[in-house]
């Protein structure tokens, strides 16, 4: 196991992971072939991490094991009532070979907030961080070194108790798996077209919109199919008052003519760490940033009048995606194209890949 001291904030001692090596791990040649063109979410590393939780025993039996199928009782609560949460975070290889991740404390705290909303136990942030380091300790060679490549880390937690009664499960599992990821946009960043979902919403007031939970994604799949049928790449969701929420898995940001940056903020929107970081970089450049409601009318009129000069979406997987078109049942609004989104994207990825100074202390080394 990696050595970590007692956590100064929580007083927690590090967990002692039992490590079982994968005896059929990919050969260097097979791994290199995958890393040459990894795509997204298709291939997985040789190992995974899991930690059990029970009402009686708390967090226990931390393990690093060969990657493989999970055995679950057919009555496991997650399969029936969807008590599940997840995270998404990347590991980046720097030019000197070292491996870093980006603001993992934020993901650890968001996993705790999601857990609270889904009545799951809160994994202490030091355990979350340790799980990332443990996986990199055995699978560090899976962090690719090509341009815009990364190792996508997928922590998740679910109710595994075999019980069909409806209540928070008494047995839960936390897992971490990892999947090498190629450049999201092959041949440069392309603006996306967005379908305005009028018939479906992704979240409601007091619902689970601010939690990273599979159910939100399940609810977004049908509207996403509607987007494809209408030749759009992604969906944008509105709230009950016709304010803009977000895409199925990315936050939305508006840039105004006077340099002001506005992003929808409400308790039904997932608070993206990419968005938070881009907005900090924008503030560093002197932009005024507002988190507030943005109605569909404000968006459409702002574009028509020239008040809004750029619209983009952001999230860990794609980082920043300019929005090129907004399409509704009876309109198509071409979106203005600007340069700020791509400048901020470049600035952020330069920090993540170690090519620019990390002024905010966002990087966290995983392999030392
Ligand atoms: C994960 C996610 C985002 C983006 O969050 P990041 O921390 O920037 O990756 C946005 N919206 C939803 C619904 C998400 O699940």
The closest-lying atom of ligand 1 relative to the alpha carbon of residue 316 is 9
127 in the same domain as 82? yes
Between CA 247 and CA 256 the distance in angstroms is 20
| Higher-pLDDT residue of 151, 2 | 151
Q: Positive or negative, the Cα torsion across 205, 278, 298, 286?
A: positive
Q: Convert the pLDDT of each residue in 310-340 to its tens digit.
A: 999 999 999 999 999 999 999 999 999 999 9
**Ligand 1 pocket check for 220: Cβ under 6 Å:** no
75 in the same domain as 126? yes
pLDDT for residue 139: 98
Q: Convert the pLDDT of each residue in 186-199 to its tens digit.
A: 777 899 999 999 99
222 in the same domain as 146? no
229 in the same domain as 155? no
DSSP state for residue 295 in the 8-state scheme: B
Residue 111 Cα, ligand 1 centroid: separation in angstroms? 12
Q: Answer yes or no: is 2 within a domain.
A: no
The pLDDT-based confidence of 2 (bands split at 50, 70, 90) is: very low
27 in the same domain as 160? yes
79 in the same domain as 207? no
Q: Answer yes or no: is 342 within a domain.
A: yes
Mean pLDDT of 101-126: 98
**Ligand 1 pocket check for 316: Cβ under 6 Å:** yes
Express as a percent the part of the chain with pLDDT over 90: 93
pLDDT for residue 109: 98
User: How many structural domains compose the chain?
Assistant: 2
167 in the same domain as 60? yes
196 in the same domain as 178? no
List residues bridging with 323 in a β-sheet: 192
Q: Answer yes or no: is 326 within a domain.
A: yes
Q: Is the pLDDT of residue 1 over 60?
A: no
Q: Answer yes or no: is 239 within a domain.
A: yes
319 in the same domain as 284? yes
CA–chain centroid gap for 246, Å, is 14
232 in the same domain as 308? yes
Residue that is last in its domain, among 127, 150, 183: 183
Q: Answer yes or no: is 267 within a domain.
A: yes
pLDDT for residue 4: 57
**Ligand 1 pocket check for 88: Cβ under 6 Å:** yes
Q: Answer yes or no: is 368 within a domain.
A: no
Both tokens assigned to 317: 């997987």
Residue nearest to atom 12 of ligand 1 (CA): 249
Q: Is the pLDDT of residue 183 over 50?
A: yes
219 in the same domain as 175? no
Number of helical H runs and strand E runs in the chain: 8, 18
Contact between residue 142 and residue 151 where contact means Cβ atoms under 8 Å apart: yes
Q: Answer yes or no: is 359 within a domain.
A: no
pLDDT for residue 3: 53
**Ligand 1 pocket check for 250: Cβ under 6 Å:** yes
pLDDT for residue 186: 72
Q: State the residue range of the domain holding 158.
A: 18-183
**Ligand 1 pocket check for 277: Cβ under 6 Å:** no
Residue 156's closest CA among 219, 206, 83?
A: 83
Residue that is last in its domain, among 135, 161, 183: 183
pLDDT for residue 121: 98
Which CATH number characterizes residue 304's domain?
A: 3.20.10.10
Tell me what the pLDDT averaged over the chain comes to.
96
Which CATH number characterizes residue 153's domain?
A: 3.30.470.10
Residue 88 Cα, ligand 1 centroid: separation in angstroms? 8
pTM over 0.85: yes
The closest-lying atom of ligand 1 relative to the alpha carbon of residue 317 is 9
Q: Answer yes or no: is 363 within a domain.
A: no
168 in the same domain as 25? yes
Q: Which residue matches tokens 């920043």?
A: 320
Return all residues near 118 (Cβ < 8 A) that are at least 6 apart. 83, 84, 85, 208, 211, 213
């Amino acid at each position: 196991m990696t050595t970590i001291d007692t956590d100064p904030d929580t007083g927690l001692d590090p967990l002692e992971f039992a490590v079982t090596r994968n005896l059929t791990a990919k050969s260097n040649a097979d791994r290199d072939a995958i890393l040459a063109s990894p795509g997204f979410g298709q291939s997985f590393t040789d190992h995974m991490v899991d930690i059990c939780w029970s009402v009686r025993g708390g967090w226990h039996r931390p393990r690093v094991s060969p990657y493989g199928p999970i055995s679950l009782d057919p009555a496991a609560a997650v399969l029936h009532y969807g008590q599940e949460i997840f995270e998404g975070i990347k590991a980046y290889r720097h030019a000197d070979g070292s491996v870093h991740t980006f603001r993992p404390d934020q993901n650890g705290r968001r996993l705790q907030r999601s857990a609270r909303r889904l009545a799951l136990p809160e994994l202490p942030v030091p355990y979350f961080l340790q799980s990332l380091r443990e996986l990199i300790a055995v699978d560090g060679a899976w962090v690719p070194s090509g341009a815009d490549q990364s190792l996508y880390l997928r922590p998740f937690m679910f109710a595994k108790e075999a019980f069909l009664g409806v209540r928070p499960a008494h047995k839960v599992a936390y897992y971490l798996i990892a999947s090498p990821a190629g450049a999201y946009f092959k041949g440069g960043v392309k603006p996306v077209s967005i379908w305005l979902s009028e018939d479906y919403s992704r979240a409601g007031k007091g619902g689970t919109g601010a939690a990273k939970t599979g159910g939100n994604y399940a609810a977004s799949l049908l509207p996403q199919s509607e987007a494809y049928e209408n030749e759009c790449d992604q969906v944008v969701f509105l709230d009950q008052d016709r304010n803009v929420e977000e895409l199925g898995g990315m936050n939305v940001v508006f840039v105004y003519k006077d340099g002001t940056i506005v992003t929808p903020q409400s308790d039904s929107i997932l608070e993206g760490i990419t968005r938070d970081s881009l907005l900090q970089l924008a503030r560093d450049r002197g932009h005024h940033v507002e988190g507030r409601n943005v109605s569909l009318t404000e968006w459409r009129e702002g574009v028509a009048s020239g008040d809004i000069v750029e619209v983009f979406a952001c999230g860990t997987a794609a980082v920043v995606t300019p929005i090129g078109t907004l399409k509704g049942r009876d309109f198509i609004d071409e979106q203005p194209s600007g340069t700020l989104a791509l400048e901020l994207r470049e600035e952020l990825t330069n920090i993540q890949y170690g090519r620019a100074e990390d002024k905010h202390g966002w990087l966290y080394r995983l392999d030392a």
